[in-house]
Structures are given as structure tokens and as C-alpha cells.
Amino acid sequence: MNNEPRKIHLAKTLSIIDFEKEAWEVESAKACHDNDERAFKKIWNEDVKWIPNWFCPADLFLWLKEPVTLDASSIITGKTRLVTMYSAYSPVDAGQARAILEHIPNDQRTATWGRLSGLIRAADRLAEAKDIDELENRKDISITTKETLANARRGQGRFRRDLENRWDNQCAVTGCNLKEVNRASHIKAWHLSSDAERLDGHNGILLAAHIDALFDRGIISFNAAGKMLVSKDILVAELDRIGLPMNLRKPLREEEKTYLSHHRRTYGFPAS
């Protein structure tokens, strides 16, 4: 948005200008300007005009009672910082947006948080449709392979049958045997996997829907011994209500351990 008066008004409304004194007290800020406060103020006054250069619909702006620290590594795989430059936007996908929302403590999860979560779930469904469209447009694979991959993306076909055989048609955690409830979930995310990994039954786990949702969002994971690991961002009382934590019902195969190691790294759990 290039409406300069609007940006300046927004900067004042957000009291960004008031942060000037606090920013000047940062030693690195002084060093960058050779301890010349006037030079610093000149840059600061120019910058505050473009800092608020986007608008968020009021019903989707999530106000927090207390600041929340984000863990970059659990949001962007392999990164230790969320922002590396301030002159451009860094778009996030649905998984990253979901990971950001999961950092919000339960006592700050307002109705707005719920609306945002709903939009992200819708984006997940759109992402699935987009992935399948991309498969249809690929020229490097056969029609049969396209169909097999599309079924795997939906959690169906041979991929699902492999997981049902592996876990005796039951949720790997709860033992639930309702086909309508259980989900064939990829361990290593679809967008991070090769075609071979997308079809690999070892890169999957059969989970009841509520556990699949937690696993897919990186709220829980499993170590090599099959013990459920739980994110520090979820309250124990919330898990108690759904009978968690529980461990996997069967010992893991070596290939499954490798994929789960990737899942743990992706969401910031201990490596082993």
C-alpha cells in the first residue's frame, strides 16, 4: 500500500515512533550511526513511514495479552531466524502458518484464533487439490503413477492399504479400528518428500483423526522407541482430556525411525 498519509497515521496509531528512544539505547544501533543520535533519528523517521505497509482485516487481527516467542526452526525447516531482511515479504505456506498459530498458548486462543485456524484448514484442503493438479500436469510420469501418487496424497490407495496392513487396520496409538476415523498420514511432509518417499509405506502412520491432527501440526511426535513426545506449547490438562500421551502399539522399523527422525527435526523435538 503506497498511501503515505495512511502509513504515517498507522505508525502513530501503533505508537511505533515512541519506540525511538528504546531503539537508540541498543548498542548496535548507536554503533551503526557512530553514536550520532541525529543521524539515527533521520533514518528512524523515514523508516516508520513504511513499517506498517500492510493492512489486516480487523476480524482476523489476533491481539495477544502477552507477547509470544516464536521458534523459527519449528516454523521454517532448517532456519534459525524468521526474518532475514525487512524490505520484502516472506510468504508462509499453510503448514508454517499453522505452526505459528500453535505457538499461541491456550489461554490466548480467542475466537479470532479459531477463525484463523479454520482458514488454514481450508488452505490445507486447497493445498491438496493444488498438489493433485500439479501431478496431473506433470509430463515426466505415467498416468498410472499420477493416479497412484494422487491417491497417496489423499491418504488412500496402496499407501493406505500398506499402513492398514502394518497396523492391523487400527490406529497406531489408540487401537481404534473405525476406518472412517483413521487417517493415513505421511510422516515426512508431502511437499518435502520425493515421489518414492510419497509412496513409501514406511513414510506413513495410521492415526485416529484427532491424533493425526496433532502429529501433522508438530504438536506431538514419536522417538525411536515409539514414545510419544509432546510440544511444550500444549497444556498437559488438554492432553488429559483426550487420553494422551500414549505410545505406539508396535515397535518401529528402521525405515520408520528414519522418517520420524526427520519429523522430530522439523518440529524441534529432541533428535533421539
Q: Is residue 204 predicted with pLDDT exceeding 90? A: yes
258 backbone dihedrals φ, ψ, rounded to 5° = -65, -45
Considering the chain, what percentage of its residues have pLDDT values greater than 70? 86
Q: What per-residue confidence (pLDDT) applies to 192?
A: 81
Q: Is residue 132 predicted with pLDDT exceeding 90? A: no
What is the residue-wise DSSP string for the chain?
A: ---HHHHHHHHHHTTGGGGHHHHHTSHHHHHHTTT-HHHHHHHHHHHTTTTT-----GGG----SS-----HHHHSTT-S-S-S-SSS-----HHHHHHHHHTS-GGG--HHHHHHHHHHHHHHHHHHHHHHHHHHH-SSS-HHHHHHHHHHHTT-HHHHHHHHHHTTTS-TTT----TTTEEEEESS-GGGS-HHHHH-GGGEEEEEHHHHHHHHTTSEEE-TT--EEE-TTS-HHHHHHTT-----SSPPPHHHHHHHHHHHHHTT----
| Same structural domain, 136 and 203 | yes
Q: Is residue 91 predicted with pLDDT exceeding 70? A: no
| Same structural domain, 28 and 128 | no
Q: Of 16-20, 29-33, 140-144, 170-174, which gets the smallest average pLDDT?
A: 16-20
Q: What per-residue confidence (pLDDT) applies to 88?
A: 57
Q: Is residue 199 predicted with pLDDT exceeding 80? A: yes
| Same structural domain, 119 and 45 | no
Which residues on adjacent β-strands are paired with residue 206? 184
What's this model's pTM, rounded to 2 decimal places?
0.57
Q: What per-residue confidence (pLDDT) applies to 137?
A: 87
Q: What per-residue confidence (pLDDT) applies to 36?
A: 92
**Average pLDDT rounded to a whole number, residues 34-42:** 89
| Same structural domain, 118 and 244 | yes
Q: Is residue 198 predicted with pLDDT exceeding 60? A: yes
Q: 136: domain range?
A: 111-266
Question: What are 39-88's pLDDT values in tens digits?
Answer: 888 888 776 656 655 666 677 888 898 888 887 777 765 667 776 555 55
- Does the residue 145 lie in any domain? yes
| Same structural domain, 48 and 122 | no
- Does the residue 272 lie in any domain? no
| Same structural domain, 136 and 223 | yes
Question: What are 13-25's pLDDT values in tens digits?
Answer: 777 667 788 888 8
Number of structural domains found in the chain: 2
- Does the residue 89 lie in any domain? no
Comparing CA positions, the residue from 272, 238, 242, 241 lying closest to residue 258 is 272
- Does the residue 271 lie in any domain? no
- Does the residue 248 lie in any domain? yes
**Average pLDDT rounded to a whole number, residues 95-113:** 82
Q: What per-residue confidence (pLDDT) applies to 191?
A: 80
| Same structural domain, 249 and 128 | yes
Q: Is residue 100 predicted with pLDDT exceeding 80? A: yes
Report CA Rg, the chain.
Answer: 23
| Same structural domain, 30 and 160 | no
- Does the residue 77 lie in any domain? no
Q: What per-residue confidence (pLDDT) applies to 1?
A: 43
| Same structural domain, 133 and 255 | yes
| Same structural domain, 47 and 139 | no
